[in-house]
Each structure stands twice: as C-alpha cells, then as structure tokens.
Amino acid sequence: MSSVPAELKYTKEHEWIQEISATKFRIGITDYAQSALGDIVYIQLPKNGSSVNANSVCGEVESTKSVSEIYAPITGKVVLVNEKLESNPEIINADPYGAGWIAEIEISTDSLQEVLLSAQEYQTLTA
C-alpha cells in the first residue's frame, strides 16, 4: 500500500501539495504515482518564474516504463524548483514527499482548498 501523509492535500492526477505559508505551496507526485511509474530517469521541471494554471501540465516525468505529465494542483507562479532532480530524478522514487518535491508555487488568492482531496479521499481513489 502507498504512503499517504495526512497533512498533505492531493489531486486526482496523483500530485500532492503542502502549505508552506498562507500563499506558498510545495508540490510533488505521490508515492502511488512514483510506484506506478517505476524507476524515474528524467524530469522536466516547471520553469522558475513561470505562471501555472491549476489542472494544466507544468512538467513531465519519464521512467523506464512510460512518460507522465505533471499537473499543477493550483494556479500561481513557480518561485522555486528542486534543481537536485535534474541530475538525480530517482530521488522522487526514494522520497516522493520529502527530498523528491518538485516545485514551490506562490498564489495570490486562497481559492484552492475546494478542489483538493484530503488524504482519506485520495486513499479511497487509489484503493
């Protein structure tokens, strides 16, 4: 069974989101997603400073099995990307909720909570 930390929020597309401050959020892909992908060999990170829209593609993960798009869980501006993943994308396999985070997004409004899933709702989706 995949790990689903209770303090995070999730999307149906298997991304997670963590609140860092009232307007800044860290995102990544879930343990379920990295497990389904298999060994990750490449990641296309979102561009630092770029604007992203909720439910729109903001990056890509390539594994030995397939290529999968990364969807932005919220609308905002990318203020930081995890550059360590460029040379070591396998960090996502080893630690998807920690060192394998993908980017930080800053928002201007607090309109995200209604579209995200709780850990319990996400577990039901992946069961």
pLDDT in tens, 17-71: 999 998 999 999 999 999 999 999 999 999 999 999 999 999 999 999 999 999 9
Residue 46 structural domain:
9-108
* Across 91-100, average pLDDT: 97
**Residue 120 resides in a domain:** no
**Count: domains in the chain:** 1
Work out the percent of the chain whose per-residue pLDDT is above 90: 83
**Residue 115 resides in a domain:** no
The structure's pTM equals 0.91
- Residue 47: give its domain's CATH number: 2.40.50.100
**Residue 116 resides in a domain:** no
**Residue 3 resides in a domain:** no
User: Residues 10, 119: contact at Cβ < 8 Å?
Assistant: yes
First to last CA, the chain: 8
Residue, of 108 and 49, whose pLDDT is higher: 49
Distances from the Cα of 66 to the Cαs of 30, 69, 123, in angstroms? 16, 10, 23
**Residue 113 resides in a domain:** no
**Residue 100 resides in a domain:** yes
**Residue 117 resides in a domain:** no
53 closest CA partner among 74, 82, 34, 25: 74
Q: How confident is the model at residue 66, as a pLDDT?
A: 93
Distances from the Cα of 108 to the Cαs of 2, 12, 71, 111, in angstroms? 32, 23, 19, 9
CA dihedral sign, ordered 43, 67, 15, 36: negative
pLDDT at 112 over 60: no
Q: What is the mean pLDDT of the chain?
A: 92
Alpha helices in the chain (DSSP H): 31-37, 84-87, 91-94, 119-126
**Residue 4 resides in a domain:** no
